[in-house]
Chains A and B, each alone.
Chain A
């Protein structure tokens, strides 16, 4: 009757975990690197803290143009960019 080799199977599990960890770290590093140019563009283009919103007109959901400085003038507001994809 074969005796299970616990030491060998523990080593295999450890090796598998290590490979998984390295793949996870690698994918996150690649993700961060891909984002880096976007972060830099945001830093250099987007308004800084303490600056006014840019003087830009965009469309409401009926197609009318509205200046973003005039949105919810009396209140705090949150502007988030996004799309369906």
Chain B
């Protein structure tokens, strides 16, 4: 705000979610969905900053060492003149004072009076009990097979494995199907419950290979459908096909549709995610941390 009149341009680059499930947000599968996240960020923060979206293979994020909140100051020739792994509004102001000059009466965050909107509400949550993931579980590589679905991925797979699974090929795998709040949909509990089925090559044993999710009496809910599976493979890194069927309705009740979707899951660690968290029914973070975990730092207006 203070430096825009002096010609400084600010860009916020949207990257993979640092804390999936926080406020019920789930990781987007397509660039269109990442752009929907940007729309949501604009709605919630009321900020006029220019937003950009990293590519779905996260080129910019990788070029920054996959840090969640890095900051660069670049001169008119495109040369980096200041850098930090973690954005710091106070340090950034010092940088800009050095390169562009001080401003009279610097604006404080409290001066901005930006309207902070709440996250998207969902239908009832907290109806289906959450599955406790084994300690130390880490994200697994998944690839939605887009061409197998006629509809958006209203429910998105989150897969995690225990460290020994990645190391030895034997361990516990978590799979959870999380409704994407940006589509404003819920499970249609008047229809059959969610079902998954795994098809794997010889040498890959996953049990149970088929499963049916919770089917509460309430007509609608938005709790994830979660499962713990035991995996035993000849060697880590092999993949398998995961098919899921469910029934979804939009919250405005303009449609209810049967959905069938598929994923290719690779029994390998997805290193594009740094965090593994659990959330409470209201979408807040469960503060019970696991080894190696730090403190979540959601996006805020100070940047």
Contacts and interface: CB of A to CB of B under 8 A. Distances in A.
Interface of A: 27, 30-31, 34-35, 38-54, 56-63, 66, 68-69, 71-85
B37 A34 contact: no
A50 B82 CA distance: 9
A31 B295 contact: yes
B8 A75 contact: yes
A57 B55 contact: yes
6 contacts: A45-B62, A48-B83, A53-B80, A77-B9, A82-B13, A85-B296
B59 A58 contact: yes
A78 B13 CA distance: 10
Contacts of B115: none
Q: Which of the listed residues A52, A72, A77, A78 has the most CB atoms from chain B within 10 Å of its own CB?
A: A78
Interface bracket on B: 35 or more
Interface string B2-39: 01000111111111111111110100000110110111
B62 to A, nearest CB: 7
B75 interface: yes
Given A31-B294, A73-B76, A77-B8, A83 B17 contact: yes
Contact of B12 (A31, A72, A80): A80
Nearest to B74: A77
Contacts of B116: none
Nearest to A52: B78
B70 interface: yes
Nearest to A62: B35
> Do most interface residues of chain B lie in helix, strand or loop, or is the interface mixed?
mixed
A18 B23 CA distance: 35
A49 B8 contact: no
B54 to A, nearest CB: 5
Interface centre among B22, B39, B65 (most CB of A within 10 A): B65
A63 B11 CA distance: 15
A51 B73 CA distance: 12
A25 to B, nearest CB: 14
Interface stretch (B84-92, B228-236, B239-247): B84-92
Contacts of B73: 76-78
Interface in B249-274: 274
Contacts of A47: 63, 72, 80, 83
A27 to B, nearest CB: 8
B167 interface: no
B85 A78 contact: no
Nearest to B279: A85
Given A54-B63, A76-B7, A66 B294 contact: no
Contacts of A78: 8-11, 71-74, 92, 96
Contacts of B65: 38, 40-46
Contact of A79 (B11, B19, B53, B55): B11
B61 interface: yes
Given A82-B15, A85-B17, A85-B22, A38 B80 contact: no
Nearest to B38: A61
A19 B298 CA distance: 28
B103 interface: no
B128 interface: no
Nearest to A70: B78
A76 B8 contact: yes
Contact of B66 (A31, A34, A41, A49): A41
